[in-house]
Structure 1
Amino acid sequence: MKRLKKIGLWLLALLTIVLVGIALFAYTLKPAYEGEKQLSGLAEKVDVYFDAYGIPHIYANNEMDAMRSLGYVHAQDRLWQMEVLRRIGRGGLSEVFGKDMLGTDKFFLALGIDDASKETVAQLDVNSTSVRLSQAYLDGINTFIEEGPTPIEFYLTGLDKEKFQLKDVYNIMGYMAFSFAMAHKTDPFLTNIKETLGEAYLKDLEIDVDPETVWIKNYENERADTIHSNLTASVMQSLKQLSIPLFEGSNSWVLGPEKTKAGKVIFANDPHIGFSQPAVWYEAHLNTPTYEKYGYHLGGVPFPLLGHDRRLAYGLTMFENDDVDFYFEENHPTDSTKYKLGNDWVSFEYVAKKIKVKDAEAVDFVYKKSVRGPVLNDIAVQVNGERPISMWWAYTNGENRVMDAVYGMSHARNIGEFEEALPMIHAPGLNVMYGDAEGNVAWWATGKLYHIPDSVQTKFVQNADTGFSVKREYLDFSKNPRAINPPWHYVYSANNQPDSIAGMLYPGYYLPENRARRIVALLRPKNNWELESVGEMITDGTSAVNPSVLTDLAKNIDIKQLSGKQVKLLDRMKAWKGDYGLKSVEATVYSRWIYFFLRLTFLDELGKDRFDQLLSTHLHKRLIAPMAANPGSIWWDDVTTEDKKESQKDIVQKALDEVLASLEKDFGPETDTWIWEKVHTVEHPHPIGQVELLRSFFNVGPFPVQGTREVINNMYFGYDGDGFYQVGSGPSTRRVIDFSDVENSMSILPTGQSGNPFSNHYRDQAEMFVKGDFRKMMMNATEIRDTAESLLVFKPVSD
């Protein structure tokens, strides 16, 4: 007995030692938020105050020191995120995650992001201010890599840390540009429909712009063959599995002085991006005698893409313009190394790459290019058949000055200087939103636009010899859509169709009018907006469109086929105002009804794969309302029933029957229990969180969450038929900046500032975010110093 007791004591002691060791190890991995550190390259001391949410307020005597310090603190909170982001464009994911990422690496290598980045960096003026500041930021990252603790993800994956270089910055921006591109999902899909079902089936897919939709109005005033229908399906799925954020959409509006109670501009912006952990944006406030900015940074990018100071504020949404085109190339009949160019046969260019793979030999990869771009048949497993398909992309076909633009935007002192930076954005297309302390409000659509002949429909794969020429006739930036100080006293963007300046429609993959209609309906009648009321609006979860869709669906229902309880539920649905609160039964029934409505309408013609591809495009969002109001569509007939031709009434009635049966099966017969919070949740996934044992440590959530698809509080989910909606993307931040009291402007992040799971700021904003709460974006120096949670002092390296 004594021996057993002694063994037990030894085991207890050993366990204690192990737990203490783990605790000490974990402690060494935490970010350093206080104390003193020597930082090489500094000219003078830098004070970094961390507020209650871990946001650094960097006070330096010059901007070079501020940027170097930013690089260090950014890296200690987000180095793993930076590492993953810089690897996408250069085809480096297989080295971390293994052979399952080979297809994704091949695709991104063939896109040419890495090659374009190399070319851009080789042409940079290394003595320019923007490059020198960028290098200072990278030096700060690299100092942390050399001297700071290694993030736990590097231990778990066995990956060695490597220094960052300027090319990595451009690769990250290149990935951002790609993640906007909806053409990869849409153009091949529509071409497939055209070739297999015929043009009649394209009529109701909302390919073209509806002239009756809510447009963004322009105004300028004085200053004050067998082709698979989704070329990137496996690539996008791989990125989602790694919890790599994809840029989805956004809201923004800027209210002029005439629309606000205090007579000063109020700015609002919430970019919609795939949820991940860590969250996309890193907040930092830099202050020097000559420069101040409260900014939102992408991992590994030195200048903020969103930001404000006491003079001005700016933000972004997606323009959604079409800047990708696909082409059928014609192979030489006997020599597969040649293709037709005009009347000649010319050789493909062959590009050789080597891909490192975790726990395996490196893979040699060769792809070919035409003058139009990479041929996807050799790299995208979804492309079948003999017809080569090449891709032209605006981002890799033009001088890349995106970083110059971001530097110019972040350093502008007024609306004139700000606008000067915008023509340098060639791709991706962005809606840039602006407001300032002088009372100016503005919106510009940026990106290099080009003339498209009336005979060309860019949403189909082009024939190389007769299609749209890759020699584009570019428009001057003055022809880009814009509104500057319009007489209606506000500007907005919800990724919807803009009006034209150039006398032509700008082809794109615009979102439906749902959010735009709600934004305009709320903004137009009110002229006494305040910070708090704009904050309420940015979390609004009411649809301006869905109740009318429901009305159109309900017209098709034969109430004689419903039970008394079901009739009461339908009456309740008819009175619905389109709100998506956590206790809403109507939200649950409507969302499930829409899925069955879409499935019963399109699945029979498309089959499962193509139906899933339809659901991955913006097309299905755009066609819901028009199809609900269209009894004459060719899609209503179920082609699997030879003895009957179904009508809209048949499809809608059957959809409701299946909805009610499935909800009763999932939640029981009491309809009051069918509430939104049971089916609509958000979880912020980390790549390591795919391991079930580590999920609760690395992932954040899940939480029931209000909102839904295409409302202002845009909590987007994809339909998969199970009736439970895991939100995949939404507001990556919510910001409201009031120039009547800029120091009390407010924002929120979806999870927390830090990407280090041992930090107290890894998830400390998550519950606030789902509740629609905000926190202050602090800018008052005295308040920052008096309330700081901690102080980290960087000192120059002693001689």
Structure 2
Amino acid sequence: MGLLFRWLMRLSAALILMLVLGAGLIYFLASQSLPDYDKDIALPGLSAPIEIVRDNANVPHIFGSYGASDEDVFFGLGYAHAQDRLWQMTILRRTVQGRLSEVFGRRTLEVDSLLRRLDLYRLAQQSVPDQDAGTQAALIAYSAGVNARLDEINASALGRGAPEMFLFNAPIAPWQPADSIALMKLLALKQSGQIQDEVLRARVTLMLDDPSRLLDILPDAPGTGMTALPEYTALFPGLKRYAEASDMPSTALSPFSDRGFAGASNVWAALPNRSAAGGTLLANDPHMELSAPTLWYLARLELATGGVIGATMPGIPAVMAGRSENMGWGTTASYVDDQDIFIEKMNPENHEEYLTPNGYKRFKSRPSIIQIKDAQPVTLILRWSENGPVMPGSLHGLSTVTPPGHIASLAWSALSPADTSMTAAINLMRSQTVPEAIAIGEQYIAPSQNLVLADHNSIALKTVGAIPQRDAQNQNQGRLPNQGWRRENRWQGRAPYAANPQFINPRGGILGNTNNKLLQRPFPNHVSYNWGDTQRVHRWRKLMQTRQVHTRDSFIEAQLDTVSYTARTILPLIGADLWFTSSAAPEGSPARQRQIALRLLSEWNGEMNEHMPEPLIYAAWLRALQQRLIIDELGPLASEFRHVEPLFIERVYRNVDGAAAWCDIRQSAPRETCTELAQLALDDALVWITERYGPALEALRWGDAHQARQDHEILGEIPILRFFVNIRQSTSGGDNTLQRGLSSGLGPDPFQNVHAAGYRGVYDFSDPDSSVFITSTGQSGHFLSRHYDDMAQLWRRGEYIPMSLDADLARAAAVGITRIQPRQN
């Protein structure tokens, strides 16, 4: 027995030793790719020496020496991006190329298939010659900087450049100018949401017995708008009136946004007469899907026209949101209707042909081979009609609205082979005045944005990006999939840039956008029918109007505001006949729980604070209520409504145009009232809360449910490792607050915060160096770096770091200075 015990001890010790040695080896290999920020090096591709000064937040400040050009500075940005975010850059490039399956196998095949059909990368290659000379030079120099880092990694055995490279065999090709343009198109795809709404509207039309109820569940933004659409079955007779779940790829690597998860943002600006210090102000926080690392990377470029600092996207040589000495700029998703689904009628005698206004015509087609790790390659036949690429039925449930003998194609402004958006982004950094920046905006194609500008004296909002010109006789005004063979449905080019919405120096001294409706114009000059916000804008307007003058700090307070206008509006409606009307109930009974919940909500001011119980009760109640309202009419299609639709709830409980009909459950004999449904939904919510968080309602914390989920898209799925790479934080805010934290709407934790402001910036031109910014994670994409998540807690607490163009401040307490000398090949 003693001998057995001794051998067991020896085996255990050996196993522990092997684990320790294995962990040490893994750490050693992974740590080899941690960049050295403090060094002198000679690299090819420069015309003069440059310095990359990393301030104490690891933000690179890139300076050229005497005789250096802007191209040398862009070289430095490419080098810095590759130092900190090489894996992210290569995965983004593989995504837009449709080459993820070469690394990850069959699980990304559907994503690759969809991207190949869009052909974004080939369109980016075709767009390179259309950039102006300065932009082409910047793209070449930036690519040289990235490739210089790749050569350095190979020559010095720097751990393959990123720890992920040890787990996944992902050979890295040299960076090219087309790669950066392709990433701009990928950004447009991530921010696109019109086709999701278009297809969903058609699917809902097929499900509803009463077509007039469509504008209840999918209402127009407030204001005069369209009141009726043609029935979808009138356009395409014979379609089945049933719903199926859409079969979109579920991998975290997919750039195809579910409905409600396209780009969003806040941005606002003030003229000097509304500023306490007498200078213009600008605040911006773009909202996108959270990840670790975040999509944003802070950088400062010292160009010939002056210093520029702000948020860049790794792979793109431009400050997308930020400021210079004389200009600040921020963006929000404009929700321009720049996408249309066309249903193409195939020739029954020859499926290689489709119907056009001039008769049948052959599709443009070519094969495309997808290489798959550990599997046989798959050959796709890519087909294009005159309207755009042919898309598979899995895209947002297209198969359910496509009749037999037809296929669907996509028209989208980002599919331009002469896309000059990169030229616009780079030239914007060099602009010095609002009028100059507005003129540059004409070069934007996609993604369409509301560009808000501020110089020392002026502010403006200009919608940039190509807006399709539609025929006034269009059958459904671009709101439903349309018959592709009818001439009046087809696009007629790009609308004039001068017609894009524009607001300059408003009389009130303040302008802004929360993705809300910008203006009311009749079709076809309407810009859009689908807008990203009908709620946050009300809270923003109140905060702006309650002060005569604003400061940098008041703009910060507005960015971080967590009061829900939606809660303040809807709770009095759904609880109107429930407040204080119930009789006494024993402790622990459902009736008593309901009384406690109603008492808490009646005393609540609508603040979605992470430490309070009321936000969780409110959110669970509305979610359960909407589900009860729509499940019998929409069946499986109800799952497509992952978030509460505030205008829908309000229409029902105000009985707008008879919308209270949704409260009656069609399958039951009695006629239910909206009050009864509200009570039943509250009970549903309290049962769910009790099972998930316990029965003590006063002890609930919204932040326990509303955790920011910033996960590594690949390593975040690996056991044990995910605890090191994923960043989870309790957060305030909600779906409809200015400090927006959009919930997932899925699974056992439907209120996790998955879509929020990955970047926040506030610029004060009375004292530019007092401007501030923050990102949601950190500068590095390397999980062993202290800069992987060093900004995460600051971001969660609503704190910022300075945004200074003072070179001396950058050098003070710098984490390193990289001096790069030119080297001849």
Do the two structures share a fold, i.e. TM-score over 0.5? yes
Q: 1:553 to 1:381 in 2, by over 3 A?
A: closer
Q: How does 1:339-378 map to 2 (within 5 A)?
A: 339-342=354-357, 344-377=359-392
Partner of 2:346: 331
Partner of 1:216: none
1:25 matched to 2:29? The reply is: yes
Q: CA deviation at 1:564?
A: 5.0
Give the Cα separation in 1 of the matches to 2:256 and 2:521: 41
2:274 to 259, 263, 280: 259
1:131 matched to 2:136? The reply is: yes
Q: 1:320 to 1:412 in 2, by over 3 A?
A: same
Q: CA deviation at 1:354?
A: 0.8
Q: How does 1:505-520 map to 2 (within 5 A)?
A: 505-520=526-541
Q: How does 1:139-178 map to 2 (within 5 A)?
A: 139-148=144-153, 149=158, 150=160, 151-178=162-189
Q: How does 1:306-317 map to 2 (within 5 A)?
A: 306-317=321-332
Aligned-partner residue type, residue 492 of structure 1: G
Give the Cα separation in 2 of the matches to 1:433 and 1:374: 33
Give the Cα separation in 2 of the matches to 1:398 and 1:24: 46
Deviations 1:545-590 (A, max 9, x none): 3212000000243833773553343133123211011222211111
Aligned-partner residue type, residue 590 of structure 1: Y
Q: 1:76 to 1:361 in 2, by over 3 A?
A: same
Partner of 1:191: 202
Q: CA deviation at 1:10?
A: 8.7
Partner of 1:521: 542
Moved more, 68-77 or 771-780: 771-780
Partner of 1:485: 505
Moved more, 401-410 or 225-234: 225-234
Partner of 2:229: none
Q: CA deviation at 1:529?
A: 1.8
CA contact (8 A) 1:512 1:621 kept: no
Aligned-partner residue type, residue 774 of structure 1: Y
Deviations 1:415-460 (A, max 9, x none): 22211110111222200011112x2111111122224526533221
Q: 1:476 to 1:261 in 2, by over 3 A?
A: same
Partner of 2:253: 239
Aligned-partner residue type, residue 150 of structure 2: I
1:605 to 630, 633, 636: 633
What is the DSSP-based 3-state SS (H/G/I as helix, E as strand, rest coil) of the residue aligned with 1:350?
A: strand
Q: CA deviation at 1:13?
A: 8.0
Give the Cα separation in 2 of the matches to 1:10 and 1:639: 68
Partner of 2:819: 793
Aligned-partner residue type, residue 444 of structure 1: K
Structure 1 unaligned regions, length at least 5 = 214-224
1:421 matched to 2:440? The reply is: yes
Give the Cα separation in 2 of the matches to 1:307 and 1:626: 40
Moved more, 138-147 or 358-367: 358-367
Q: 1:758 to 1:72 in 2, by over 3 A?
A: same
1:280 matched to 2:295? The reply is: yes
What is the DSSP-based 3-state SS (H/G/I as helix, E as strand, rest coil) of the residue aligned with 2:761?
A: strand
Partner of 1:296: 311
Partner of 2:458: 440
1:546 to 567, 578, 585: 567
Q: How does 1:586-597 map to 2 (within 5 A)?
A: 586-597=614-625
Q: CA deviation at 1:294?
A: 0.6
Give the Cα separation in 2 of the matches to 1:467 and 1:592: 48
Give the Cα separation in 1 of the matches to 2:572 and 2:595: 14
Give the Cα separation in 2 of the matches to 1:492 and 1:86: 33
Q: 1:247 to 1:720 in 2, by over 3 A?
A: closer
CA contact (8 A) 1:258 1:527 kept: no
Partner of 1:396: 415
CA contact (8 A) 2:51 2:819 kept: yes
What is the DSSP-based 3-state SS (H/G/I as helix, E as strand, rest coil) of the residue aligned with 2:627?
A: helix
Give the Cα separation in 2 of the matches to 1:19 and 1:587: 43
Q: CA deviation at 1:544?
A: 1.9
Aligned-partner residue type, residue 326 of structure 1: I
1:578 matched to 2:606? The reply is: yes
1:770 to 796, 807, 810: 796
Q: CA deviation at 1:511?
A: 2.2
Partner of 2:516: 496
Aligned-partner residue type, residue 92 of structure 1: R
Aligned-partner residue type, residue 635 of structure 1: W
Aligned-pair identity (%)? 24
Aligned-partner residue type, residue 780 of structure 2: S
Moved more, 541-550 or 490-499: 541-550
Give the Cα separation in 1 of the matches to 2:598 and 2:82: 54
CA contact (8 A) 2:345 2:354 kept: yes
Q: CA deviation at 1:705?
A: 0.8
Q: 1:452 to 1:593 in 2, by over 3 A?
A: farther
Aligned-partner residue type, residue 495 of structure 1: N
Number of aligned residues:
780
Deviations 1:707-745 (A, max 9, x none): 111111000013236465211110011111111211121
1:754 to 780, 786, 791: 780
Partner of 1:679: 705
Deviations 1:576-612 (A, max 9, x none): 211011222211111001110111011222223x112
Deviations 1:88-108 (A, max 9, x none): 222111112211211111111
Deviations 1:48-90 (A, max 9, x none): 1111111111111332211111111111100111111112222
Q: TM-score w.r.t. structure 1 length? A: 0.91
1:666 to 684, 688, 692: 692
CA contact (8 A) 1:188 1:227 kept: no
Q: TM-score w.r.t. structure 2 length? A: 0.89
CA contact (8 A) 2:424 2:441 kept: yes
CA contact (8 A) 1:339 1:346 kept: yes
Aligned-partner residue type, residue 498 of structure 1: L
Q: 1:490 to 1:743 in 2, by over 3 A?
A: same
Give the Cα separation in 1 of the matches to 2:43 and 2:262: 34
Give the Cα separation in 1 of the matches to 2:212 and 2:10: 83
CA contact (8 A) 2:73 2:301 kept: yes
Q: CA deviation at 1:392?
A: 1.2
Give the Cα separation in 2 of the matches to 1:441 and 1:293: 18
CA contact (8 A) 1:104 1:238 kept: no
Partner of 2:478: 458
Moved more, 280-289 or 676-685: 280-289
CA contact (8 A) 2:247 2:394 kept: no
CA contact (8 A) 1:367 1:378 kept: no
What is the DSSP-based 3-state SS (H/G/I as helix, E as strand, rest coil) of the residue aligned with 1:120?
A: helix
Deviations 1:507-554 (A, max 9, x none): 242123211111111112312322222222211101123212000000
What is the DSSP-based 3-state SS (H/G/I as helix, E as strand, rest coil) of the residue aligned with 2:515?
A: coil
